[in-house]
Amino acid sequence: MSSRKLQEANEDIQIEGQEPLFPTDLKYLLTFNDPDEMSSLAAEWGVEYCQASPGDFEGNIHAVQTGSFQIIRESWSPGIFIQGSIPQKTTVFSMCKNKTEPPVWQHAPLDSNELAMLSESDEIDFYSKSPQELLFLSIDIELLNRYSVALLGKEFEYIQSSSCRFKINDESTSREFLHYWDYIINLSLSPNIDLQDAGYLKKIEDDILSSIIYSIVTTDNSSNRAERQLAARLAKEFMIENKKKQIAILDICEAVGTTERTLHLGFKELYGISPKAFMKNLRLNYVRKELMQAEPGSTVIDVAYKWNFYHLSRFAKSYYQMFNEYPSETLKSR
């Protein structure tokens, strides 16, 4: 990457007159042929990249940034040594995609089925003598705590281990975990996705933070049946009242005053489905209503995005399962 292009990239991520935790509403794919240029892109981290083995250096960063989190895929060839510190108010989770020659993370090998974690001001110590590809999620601690309370009833600092790494349950779960992070990065980088779309941001926050927290903590549920079913009824009312708004499971739990686990069990007991499935079915119905009343020139994609369906093939499949016809057929028959 040329010095001029690097300067332009750094200028693009400056938000004039304000300092959010992360530069907001950005997506970029960058390639570097020098480790110093690569590390200078993340100046707020204070990191230093050093080449660790012989060969022509190539580094790649695929990143999606909002005001409260970053999802990043980084790769290096040949080997690399990284040192530095985590920014204030930030927690970082990382997983390694390589199955051979695990890197050394915080003085010990990082297996492909381990989720690594660093908290604010922790020192980074990463070393690999061979090419590596890692996935990172950097998250605002306040947002992480809100999700932890909504899902488990406790702030994250009270449930986390003193360890800086956590074992994912099994190899299959680990693959799904990595696949989903990759999917989120690829989808977010596509030109069709607007990072200022609050519905999309809520969806990926919900999905990725839920998967992380549940992979770290084994949950139990001490609520009784009456409490669970009351929470489910209140949540259903909240979802119906706010069907036109961009809400996530975090919003529902905070509105009802319960945890996601209690809500999930209550919905299963009372309605036979999960709250997320109920919300999806509700939105599918309103997609159908809108398609049947669509003005000339309206498209299925526009309506799907409006109701927070971003993976179009999955949306079409769910729509067909619900109504026994594809959304394009509904639009044509209006």
Q: What is the pLDDT of residue 223?
A: 67
Q: Are 213 and 205 in contact (CB under 8 A)?
A: no
Does the pLDDT of residue 3 top 60, yes or no? no
- Neighbouring CB atoms inside 10 A of 48's CB total 14
Nearest Cα to Cα of residue 284 among 250, 324, 238, 257: 324
Q: What is the pLDDT of residue 161?
A: 54
Q: Where in the chain is the domain with CATH 2.60.120.10?
A: 3-189
Q: Where in the chain is the domain with CATH 1.10.10?
A: 279-332
Does the pLDDT of residue 57 top 90, yes or no? yes
In the CATH hierarchy, which top-level class contains the domain 279-332? mainly alpha
Does the pLDDT of residue 269 top 50, yes or no? yes
Q: What is the pLDDT of residue 304?
A: 92
CATH of 3-189, one of 3.40.50.80, 2.60.120.700, 2.60.120.10, 3.50.50.60: 2.60.120.10
CA pair distance 222, 262, nearest whole angstrom: 9
Question: Chain-wide mean pLDDT for the chain?
Answer: 84
168-201 pLDDT per residue, tens: 867 777 888 888 889 889 989 988 888 888 888 8
Q: Are 48 and 39 in contact (CB under 8 A)?
A: yes
